[in-house]
Structure formats: C-alpha cells, structure tokens
C-alpha cells in the first residue's frame, strides 16, 4: 500500500504545477528526499516535468536496473508507456482535500513545504515539518 502524495512547484502567478507520487509520500521519507536531492528550483522543476511517478528516488525502473546512468532517480509512469503529464492548479485547488492525496509538497521561496492533507485547521490543511537529514546518497 502506498502513501500517496503530490509534488508541486509554485509558479510566479501563484498557481501550482504538480505530479502524483505513489510510494512513501510521508515527510520522513519523501520530504527528506526532496529536501536532499531536489533542493533547488531547477531540480524540482526537472523532477515535475517528468510527470506522475511511482517513486522519485529508486535504483530500478519497473523492476529493471536503471539505464540512465544514475544510481537513483525517478520511476516515471511514462517509462512504461503511460501519459501522465503535470497538472496545473490554483493554490486553492491544490490545497483542496478533494484534489489531493495524503500529503502535498510545494517548492516555493527556495524550499520545500509539506501539508498533511488528513489534518485540517479551519478548513486549511496542516503544515507539517519535514525532518532534516539525508536518507540516501
């Protein structure tokens, strides 16, 4: 069973370009991977440009060794022939429980933030801390 999440980047007009992420979306794993390995606007944008994914940090692609020259990286659905491009939403739509998964990540102002979409305060999702420290090289 996956801990589903969305990974987004806030654009200049305050909209969010985002993708679905299936496995291990909780802050202790995905949050730490994002802050360690996708910690710039360029890296975050490159990750999201690939579209929906099973995982953003794995050593295989659909059960086979990676052939892209990297030890770890994303496992996009497009690698198995599916077309799942990024979605564009307003910030309000992105943070709407009905449009999101268990966690919602946004790269904005030079850093990642995480919202727990299961916890709400006054109809807004709860901002949750991303633990510090790298998980994998």
User: What is the domain count for the chain?
Assistant: 1
- pLDDT score of 137: 53
115 with 125: CB under 8 angstroms? Answer: yes
- pLDDT score of 136: 59
Can you give the pLDDT of all 137 residues of the chain as single tens digits? 579 999 999 999 999 999 999 999 999 999 999 999 999 999 999 999 999 999 999 988 888 888 888 889 999 998 888 889 999 999 999 999 887 789 999 999 999 999 999 888 777 899 999 998 766 55
Residue 137 lies in a domain: no
Q: Read off the tokens for 75.
A: 């496992």
Domain with 100 in it: 5-128
- On the CB side of 126, CA atoms within 13 Å amount to 10
- pLDDT score of 133: 76
- pLDDT score of 68: 83
Residue 136 lies in a domain: no
Name which of 104, 133, 109 is nearest 28 in CA terms: 133
| CA dihedral sign of residues 127, 56, 77, 1 | negative
Residue 133 lies in a domain: no
Q: Which residues contact 31 (CB under 8 A, 6 or more apart)?
A: 103, 105, 112, 114, 130, 131
């Amino acid at each position: 069973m996956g801990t589903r999440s969305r990974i987004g980047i806030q654009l200049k007009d305050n909209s969010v370009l985002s993708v679905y992420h299936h496995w291990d979306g909780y802050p202790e794993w995905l949050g730490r991977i994002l802050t360690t390995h996708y910690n710039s606007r360029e890296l975050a944008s490159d990750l999201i440009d690939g579209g929906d994914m099973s995982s953003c940090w794995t050593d295989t692609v659909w059960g086979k060794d990676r052939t892209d020259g990297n030890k770890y990286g994303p496992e996009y659905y497009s690698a198995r022939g599916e077309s799942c491009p990024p979605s564009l939403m307003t910030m309000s739509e992105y943070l709407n429980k009905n449009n999101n998964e268990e966690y919602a990540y946004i790269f904005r102002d030079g850093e990642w933030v995480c919202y727990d979409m299961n916890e709400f305060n006054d109809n807004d999702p709860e901002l949750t801390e991303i633990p510090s420290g790298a998980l994998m090289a």
